[in-house]
A and B are shown apart, each in its own frame.
Chain A
C-alpha cells in the first residue's frame, strides 16, 4: 500500500505547490481563515474543514458560487447537460404543503463517513486527514461505483476530452471528479472560490472554516444557530451544514 501513499502524496503535493504559486499572485482574500501549509506538510487531523450554508441568505436565481467554481476549477461543459460535469449546483427546494421555497448550493458534502470512499475499489476516493474528500485522478479507474453510492449526486464522470485543465485542478476523461473544497486554496490559507464569490455578491451565505476550532467563525455560528445535514438520517456526518433547511 505504500505505493498508494507515495502516489497520493505526489498528487497532493503537486496541487499544494501549484497553490503556493497562486498565493504569490494577487488574490482576493476576504476571509483568511486557514494557515498556509508547506507542500511537504501532510494534512492534519487537528483540523476539519467545512462549510456552513445559510439558506435564508442564499438568493434564488443567483449562481455566483457555481460560476466561480467553474472558473476556478475549469469544468466548463460542452452544452450537454446530461453528461457535463457539475461540481456544484443550485437546488430549489419546495415544501408542497406550504409552498415555501428555498434555494441552496449543493456540492460534495465532505462526509466524515463518505460512502464513495467505502465503495471505491482502488482507494482513489479518499478522505484527507483534515476532512476533505478527494479523488486521486491517477488511480481512479472510472468504474463510477462512487457515483452510485453518493447520496447527494455530488460527483461527475468526465465524459469527454479535457482541454487545458488548471494546474491545481487535474481532470481527465474517464475519471470521476467532484468539489475539492478548493483544496489548493485551503492549503494556501485561502477560502474556497464559492465562498469568496458569494461574499463578493453581497450575500455571504457560505462560511468556510475549521469545525474543530471552537473559536472559528463557522464553529461559533454552529454553536449559536445550529446547522443541519442533508439526509442526516444516513449518519454520514457531513462537513457541509445548512441553516434554515426546515
Chain B
C-alpha cells in the first residue's frame, strides 16, 4: 500500500473566496480604526476604567493566544504521539497556530496605552515579569512553528521534523502555562490567585484550538469540493468532545477548591450565584452553550455525524470560550478587592462595590479585528502555500495510518509523499 498525500494550494478565485477575503479585510480595517480611535481619544471612550483595566480586547486576545497553542495540537498528535492519520493535517494546524497567535498579539499590542512604544517592550525587560517572559514565549513560538512548518514542507528540513515537532509541542505547553500564569500569579485578586490556572488554561487550549481548527477545516474542504473523510472527522469531533469534557472537569475542580477555601468563598458566590451578568455568562454561555451543548452534539448518534452540526458544536465551543474568558478576566476584576477582610468599605473610588463594565463598540471591533487578522492570514496562506491535501478521504487517510503502523524500518516513502518525515519504526507503536 502506498498512499500519496498530495498538497496543493486552493485556487482562491471563486466569488466566495473574495467575499470572505473582503469581509475579513473590512473587519481588520475596522479593528485598526477602533485602535486608532482609542489611542487618540484615550481609553475613556471605551468601557474600560480604573476598575476594569482589562476589557473586551483582552477577552479576545487571551482567547486567541490560548486557541493558538491548542491549534497546534493536531500537528503534535501526528508528530509527537506518532498518529500518522493526522499528519496530512499538520501543516494547516501549524499555520493556524501562528495566525491565531498573531491575531491575539495584535489585539494585545493595539490596546496598550502606548502601542507606539512597542519597541520599548522589546528592548527593556524585567525578567521577574511573566509578561516579559511571554514576549519571548510568543516570538519563540512563532519561530519554532515556522521551522516546524519548513521541516514539513521542504525536503531539506525533513530529517528535523520529529525534533521540531517535539520542540513546538513542549514550547506550546510552556506558552500556555505562561498565559495562564498571567492570572495565576495575581495574588491580590481573589478570583485569580490559584496554581490551577495554568493547567486549566492548557486544557482549555486543547478545546479552543481544535474547535477553531475544525471551523477552518470544514469550509476549506466543503467549499472547495475537496473530499474529507467521515472517519477522520469522527475522530476529530470525538477528540473535541474529550477536550470539552476535560475543560468542564477542570472548571468544576477549580470552583470546588475555591469554595472550599473560605477566603475565596465570597468571590465564588459572586461568580456562581450573585454576579448578575457574570453569573449568567458563566452558566449560560460558558457551561451550557460552550460545554454541555457541544458535548451533546458531538456524542449524539445522529447529530454527531453531520458536518453542519459538528461545525455548530465547534462554534459553540468558541463562543463558550469567549464567555469563559469574559467571566475570568472581567468578572474577576468586577469583584471588589478585599482591602479589609471582614469589614465593609466605601470610597469615592468604587471601593467595596462591584465595578460596572459594558463592552464598547471600539473594544469589540478591535477584538473581532484580531480574529479577522488570523482568518485573513489563513485564507491567504492556503492560497499561496501547499498546506491542504487535495484529498482527505478515508481510504487514503487510513492507508497512511496503516502504512505507518506496519512500517518497520523501510517503508517510509509512503508517508514521505505527504511531505512528512515519518520514520515509521517506533513512531506509531
Q: Return the CB mask of A211-234 against B: 1 if under 8 Å, else 0.
A: 000000000000000000011001
Say yes or no: is B118 at the interface (Cβ < 8 Å to chain A).
yes
In angstroms, how far is the closest chain A Cβ from the Cβ of B55?
10
- Segment with Cβ contacts to B, from A18-26, A33-41, A157-165, A191-199: A157-165
Check if B131 sits within 8 Å of A145, measured CB to CB: yes
Of the candidate stretches A42-50, A169-177, A180-188, A200-208, the one touching chain B is A169-177
Q: Cβ of B345 and Cβ of A93 under 8 Å apart?
A: yes
Q: Does chain A have a CB within 8 A of B398?
A: no
Residues on A with beta carbons closer than 8 Å to the beta carbon of B189: 148
Contacting residue for A140 out of B113, B347, B351, CB 8 A: B113
Answer whether residue B188 sits at the interface, using C-beta atoms and an 8 A cutoff: yes
CA distance A159 to B47 in the complex (A): 11
Contact in complex: B125, A144 (CB < 8 Å): no
Instruction: Report yes or no: B113 in contact with A141, Cβ–Cβ below 8 A.
Output: yes
Which residues on B sit within 8 Å (CB–CB) of A155? 50
Say yes or no for B194: interface residue by CB 8 A criterion. Answer: no
Report the minimum CB–CB distance from A81 to chain B (whole Å).
7
Residue of A141, A142, A157, A159 with most partner-chain B CB within 10 A: A141
Set A91, A95, A147: member contacting B347, Cβ < 8 A: A91
A96 contacts B344, C-beta separation under 8 Å: yes
Most chain B beta-carbon contacts within 10 A, residue among A3, A92, A96, A234: A92
Q: A121-B131, A149-B188, A150-B188 are in contact. Are A92 and B345 (CB under 8 A)?
A: yes
Residue of B nearest to A63 (CB): B348
Residue of A118, A149, A156, A173 touching B42 (CB-CB under 8 A) = A173
Residues of A within 8 A of B114 (CB): 140-142, 174-175
Which of B50, B51, B340 lies at the interface centre, i.e. has the most chain A CB atoms within 10 A of its CB?
B50
0 or 1 for each of B132-144: is its CB under 8 Å from A? (1 = yes): 1001000000000
Task: Kindly identify which residue among A83, A94, A122, A124 contacts B49, using a CB–CB cutoff of 8 Å.
Answer: A83
Which residues of the other chain, A, contact B337 by a CB distance below 8 angstroms? 151-153
A145 to B340, CA, bound (A): 23
Give the contacts of A78-119 with B (CB-CB under 8 A): 78, 80-86, 89-96, 106, 115, 117-119
Instruction: Specify which chain A residues have a CB less than 8 angstroms from the CB of B380 in the assembled complex.
Output: none
Whether, in the assembled complex, A139 has its beta carbon less than 8 Å from a beta carbon of chain B, the answer is yes
CB of A124 to closest CB in B, whole Å? 8
Q: Are A121 and B186 in contact (CB under 8 A)?
A: no
Contact of B112 among A1, A89, A142, A245 (CB under 8 A): A142
State whether the Cβ of A120 lies closer than 8 Å to any Cβ in chain B: yes
Cβ < 8 Å to A, chain B residues 3-60: 39, 41-44, 48-51, 53-54
Q: How far is the CA of A80 from the CA of B46 in the complex (A)?
A: 13
Residues of A within 8 A of B187 (CB): 115, 151, 234
State the total of A-B contacts with C-beta under 8 angstroms: 177
Contacts of A174 in B (CB 8 A): 39, 42-43, 112-114
Q: Specify which of B39, B43, B345 is in contact with A157 (CB 8 Å cutoff).
A: B43
With A121-B129, A152-B339 known as contacts, the answer to whether A90 contacts B348 (CB < 8 A) is yes
A123 within 8 A of B: yes
Residues of B within 8 A of A115 (CB): 186-188
Cα separation A98 to B186 with both chains bound (whole Å)? 32
Complex Cα distance, B51 from A161, in Å, reads 19
Given contacts A82-B51, A86-B50, contact A141 B117 (CB under 8 A): yes
B130 close to A (CB within 8 Å): yes
Distance (Å) between the CB of A222 and the closest chain B CB? 20
Q: How far is the CA of A85 from the CA of B113 in the complex (A)?
A: 15
Whether the pair A145, B339 counts as a contact (CB closer than 8 A) is no
Q: If the complex has contacts A93-B343, A141-B117, are A86 and B349 also in contact, measured as CB distance less than 8 A?
A: yes
| B188 / chain A contacts, CB cutoff of 8 Å | 115, 149-151, 231, 234
Q: Does A4 contact B (CB under 8 A)?
A: yes
For the complex, give the distance between the alpha carbons of A149 and B181 in Å. 12
Task: Determine the residue in chain B with the shortest Cβ distance to A80.
Answer: B44
- Let me know if B350 is at the binding interface, CB within 8 A: yes
Whether A86 and B54, one on each chain, are in contact in the complex, defined by CB atoms closer than 8 angstroms, is no
Q: Are B345 and A148 in contact (CB under 8 A)?
A: no
A115–B130 alpha-carbon span in the complex (Å): 12
Q: Does A28 contact B (CB under 8 A)?
A: no
Q: How large is the interface on B (under 10, 10 to 19, 20 to 34, 35 or more residues)?
A: 35 or more
- Identify which of A85, A118, A159 gathers the most chain B CB atoms within 10 Å of its CB: A159
Minimum CB–CB distance from B113 to chain A (whole Å) comes to 2
| A147-B53 contact in complex given A119-B131, A173-B113, A174-B42, C-beta closer than 8 Å | yes
Residues of A near B296 (CB, < 8 A) are none
B43 / chain A contacts, CB cutoff of 8 Å: 83, 157, 159, 174
Taken together as a complex, chains A and B put the C-alpha atoms of A160 and B53 apart, in Å, by 14
B156 within 8 A of A: no
Closest chain B residue to A160, Cβ basis: B42
B42 contacts A122, C-beta separation under 8 Å? no
Q: Is the CB of B125 within 8 A of A122?
A: yes
Q: With A and B bound together, what is the CA distance between A212 and B351 in angstroms?
A: 32
Given A82-B356, A96-B343, A141-B120, decide whether A153 and B44 contact each other with a Cβ distance below 8 A. Answer: no
Which residues from chain A contact B48 at a C-beta distance below 8 Å?
Answer: 83
Which of A91, A117, A122, A158 makes the CB contact (< 8 A) with B113? A158
A142 to B53 Cα, complex, angstroms: 10
Q: Chain A residues near B309 (CB, 8 Å)? A: none
The reply to whether B124 and A122 form a contact with Cβ atoms under 8 Å apart is: yes
Residues of A contacting B53 with CB < 8 Å?
144, 147-148, 157
Residues of A within 8 A of B (CB): 1, 3-4, 78, 80-86, 89-96, 106, 115, 117-124, 139-145, 147-153, 155-161, 173-176, 230-231, 234, 245
Residue ranges of B at the interface with A (Cβ–Cβ < 8 Å): 39, 41-44, 48-51, 53-54, 112-115, 117-118, 120-121, 123-126, 128-132, 135, 182, 185-189, 333, 337-340, 342-351, 356
Q: List 7 A-B contacts (CB under 8 A).
A: A93-B340, A115-B188, A119-B128, A141-B114, A153-B51, A158-B113, A175-B114
Q: Besides A119-B186, A143-B131, 14 other CB < 8 A contacts?
A: A80-B44, A83-B44, A89-B348, A93-B339, A118-B129, A119-B129, A121-B129, A122-B126, A147-B50, A148-B54, A148-B333, A153-B351, A173-B42, A175-B114
Q: Which 5 A-B pairs give the minimum distances between C-beta atoms?
A: A142-B113, A174-B113, A151-B188, A121-B131, A159-B44
